[in-house]
Amino acid sequence: MIPYIIKSYRGGISDESDKGITGAYKFGYGIDIHGVDDVLTGKQAMATILSSAAGVFGTGYAATTHTGIINFFVPASDGTTYCFGSTGSVFARSGDGTWNFVYNDENGAIKGACEWQLDTGVNYLWWATNTSIARKELAGVDIAPDTGTARWTDVAMDYWKLLDPADYHTMRGASGRMMIANGNFLASIDYAGNLDIAALNIRPGNLIKTLEERDDYVVLGSFRQDNSEEGHIWSWIVTALNWIQKKRIPVKGVNSMIDTELLLLQGGEDGELFYSDFVNAIPLHAIPGGGRTTPSGVSIENDLAVFGIYGGTYPGIWSYGRRRKNRPMALNYDYRLAQTVAGNAITTVGAVAMVNGELLASWGTAADYGVDSVSSTTKATALYEGLEFSGGRPYLKKNFDTIVVNMAPLSAGCSISAKFKLEKDTSWKYGVLGDGSTTFSVTDATEAIFNTGWPGNTYEVGLELNPSGNTSPQILSISSYLGDKGYEF
């Protein structure tokens, strides 16, 4: 019998159905492709740590209704993560994981937030609503744990009321100032606390959405007011009278940017990822099923750029990059949100941030809002679906007889299922074990044999990995055995 063997998984999700770099696959989720060993195994699961359905911020405290999505996380110098919401609410999450509702801005949706220190040595939280900039001294007048009534009393809610109305007032420290997206202007606050409402003009018709710092420069990502199929990135330094570099990106606006090994951009609504150095604009990949990010929906986890994707078929946390020089750049669907796993449709992923080694992501559904974090105690159910295989002869029917899975000794409680499909069918068939079942769960076993016995021109093999607690199966190879004879008809 002729084997078709898969024994590498580092290539990530391919941008083609039947070919890719070594270790590429057609689709999958929850797979750890960046580990020390090139094996197929599951990543950690996501767990909900805040939800409006629960309505309780901190054990033992009164219920507080969470009525909007969190747009921005600000991990502050005082050890607290401040969370700014779409209805004006501000929440504080302490280092021990306790949530408090600390303030409500009556101006409504918060469209940008940042921490910035002035030359007095005082740190402030700054945030922007539609036309106003507010600030709060850290720590200033603190509050008791949330009783449902205790709130900050030292906020300057309308510290400046000079911003132009805009959907995005993204804030970022860069080039020695705190930068603020302000329509087609870039506003800034300097070290002395002076506001320049129009420090840079990128010309009417271009609207700033996202900001990033690179070396001494601030990099801006914009979209067109007329919704045309183009966005731009711009670079500027505070000593320059005008923008220094400008590059067109051929998508409907730049949604977010993150500077890792490469300056990566997510643009448009089809999940497209770009790299640009202001000379080239290279389309790297696209999220299967499309989608987009918010300006704050990007971060870095374990050297990799991570994107909070929503609005497509597969919402959740995706990554792009590599962790070592000799490994390939790879796209991976790292984390499904807990609501997705539970069968609920995610409508928005708001903010993504790494806080003290913990990845946080805010989300919204049609009926609920909340925050997930990566669990340290639970592995995720993982799915692997291989590339389409025809053996180089798609015109020839072949008998696909068995799937043999070799693995590290299977831990107690873990299980695997093998599946396959032929001729690009829309549904999968499960391989059958000798006892007639489709799930293999023999403790300490190192091999499982699934019977298939179907002929076809084109074949795809998949594997489902079911964990037990914080342990996931570790698959070494997947071998599909073909009959010796093929035939045409």
CATH code for the domain in which residue 73 is found = 2.130.10.10
In angstroms, the CA 48 to CA 107 distance is 29
Beta-strand relationship, 231-236 and 217-224: antiparallel
- Answer whether residue 55 shows pLDDT above 60: no
What pLDDT is recorded for position 37?
96
- Residues forming a β-bridge with 353: 360
End-to-end CA distance of the chain: 21
What pTM value is reported for the model? 0.94
Per-residue pLDDT band at 144 (split at 50, 70, 90):
low
How large is the average pLDDT for residues 182-196? 96
Per residue in 397-415, pLDDT tens? 888 999 999 999 999 999 9
- Percent over 90 (pLDDT), the chain: 83
109 with 154, same domain: the answer is yes
Residue 58 has φ and ψ, to the nearest 5°, of 95, 130
pLDDT at 489: 46
User: Hunting for tokens 């909007």 — which residue is that?
Assistant: 68
60 contacts: CB under 8 Å, gap ≥ 6: none
Residue 403 and residue 353 share a domain: no
In the block, residue with structure tokens 């941008």:
15
Q: Which of 353, 379, 405 is the last residue of a domain?
A: 379
Does residue 283 have a pLDDT over 90?
yes
Instruction: Please report the pLDDT score of residue 483 as a whole number.
Output: 78
Residue 220 lies in a domain: yes
Q: Is residue 48 pLDDT above 50, yes or no?
A: yes
Q: Which two tokens stand for residue 485?
A: 């004879």
**Average pLDDT across the chain, whole number:** 92
Tell me which of 479 and 50 has the higher pLDDT: 479
The answer to the question of residue 107 being in a domain is yes
Same domain, 119 and 209: yes
In degrees to the nearest 10, what's the CA dihedral of 127, 235, 292, 32?
-100
Q: In what side-by-side order are the strands of the sheet with 330-335?
A: 298-301, 304-309, 316-321, 330-335
Residue 460 has pLDDT above 60, yes or no: yes
The arithmetic mean of pLDDT across residues 478-487, rounded, is 79
Q: What is the 3-state secondary structure (H, E, C) of 346-392?
A: EEEEEEEEEECCEEEEEEEECCCEEEEEEEEEEECCEEEECCCECCC
Return the pLDDT at 343: 95
Single residue among 350, 379, 408 that ends a domain in this structure: 379
In this structure, are 366 and 404 located in the same domain? Answer: no
**Of 308, 468, 316, 362, residue with least CA distance to 48:** 362
What is the CATH classification number for the domain harbouring 399? 2.60.120
| Residue 58: predicted pLDDT | 47
Tell whether 37 is covered by a domain.
no
Confidence of residue 484 (pLDDT cuts 50, 70, 90): low
Point out the domain boundary residue: 362, 379, 396: 379
- Considering the domain boundaries, does residue 35 fall inside one? no
* Residue 38, domain member (yes or no): no
Tens of pLDDT along 221-265?
A: 999 999 889 999 999 999 999 999 999 999 999 999 999 999 999
Residues 134, 275 share a domain: yes
Residue 46 has pLDDT above 80, yes or no: yes
Confidence of residue 62 (pLDDT cuts 50, 70, 90): very low
As a whole-number percent, the residues of the chain with pLDDT over 70 amount to 94
pLDDT for 53 equals 64
What H or E segment, with its residue span, contains residue 251?
A: none
* Rounded Cα–Cα distance for residues 392 and 387 (Å): 13
Q: Say which residue the tokens 């914009």 belong to.
A: 222
pLDDT at site 392: 84
The answer to whether 82 and 90 are in contact (CB under 8 A) is yes
Is the domain of 246 the same as that of 297? yes
Residues 239, 335 share a domain: yes
Q: What backbone torsions phi and psi does residue 17 show, to the nearest 5 degrees?
A: -80, -30
Judged against a pLDDT cut of 80, whether residue 203 lies above it is answered with yes
C-alpha distances in angstroms, 167 versus 131, 159, 164, 225, 310?
10, 20, 10, 11, 18
Query: What tens digit of pLDDT does each residue of 380-390 get?
Result: 999 999 999 99
Same domain? For 224 and 334 the reply is: yes
Parallel, antiparallel or unpaired: strands 12-13 and 24-25: parallel
Residue 84's domain comprises 45-379
pLDDT higher for 393 or 315?
315
Beta strands in 237-368 (DSSP E): 245-249, 254-259, 263-267, 272-276, 281-286, 298-301, 304-309, 316-321, 330-335, 346-355, 358-365
- In the block, tokens 């693995």 appear at 407
Among residues 281, 282, 321, the alpha carbon closest in space to that of 298 is found at 321
DSSP H or E segment with residue 463: strand 459-466
SS3 of residue 338 by DSSP: helix
Predicted pLDDT of residue 56: 45
* pLDDT for position 264: 97
Q: Are 337 and 15 in contact (CB under 8 A)?
A: no
Structural contact between residues 111 and 168, judged by C-beta atoms closer than 8 angstroms:
yes
How many folded domains does the chain comprise?
2
Q: Does the structure show a pLDDT above 80 at 143?
A: no
Q: Are 7 and 68 part of one and the same domain?
A: no
CA 25 to chain centre: 20
Six token digits for residue 141: 């007048």
Burial code of 249-286, b = ≥16 C-beta within 10 A, e = fewer?
A: bebbbbbbbbebebbbbbbbeebbbbbbeeeebeeebb
Structure tokens at 278: 């202001």
pLDDT one-digit tens code per residue, 68-115: 899 999 999 999 999 999 999 999 998 888 888 889 999 999 999 999
Mean pLDDT of 39-59: 79
Any domain includes 34: no
Highest-confidence range of 88-97, 132-141, 356-365, by mean pLDDT? 356-365
**58-62, 80-84, 135-139: least confidently modelled range:** 58-62
What pLDDT was estimated at residue 40?
98
Residue 332 belongs to some domain of the structure: yes
Higher local confidence (pLDDT), 398 or 472: 472
Instruction: Look up residue 139 and give its DSSP letter.
Output: S
8 A C-beta contact, residue 177 and residue 238 = yes
Q: Is the pLDDT score of 142 beyond 70?
A: no
Burial of 155 per CB tally in 10 Å (0-12, 13-18, 19+)? buried
Residue 146 has pLDDT above 70, yes or no: no
Instruction: Give the residue among 465, 487, 485 at the shortest CA–CA distance from 476.
Output: 465
The reply to whether 345 and 395 lie within a common domain is no
Query: Does residue 424 form part of some domain?
Result: yes
Lowest mean pLDDT among 19-28, 51-60, 408-417, 425-434: 51-60
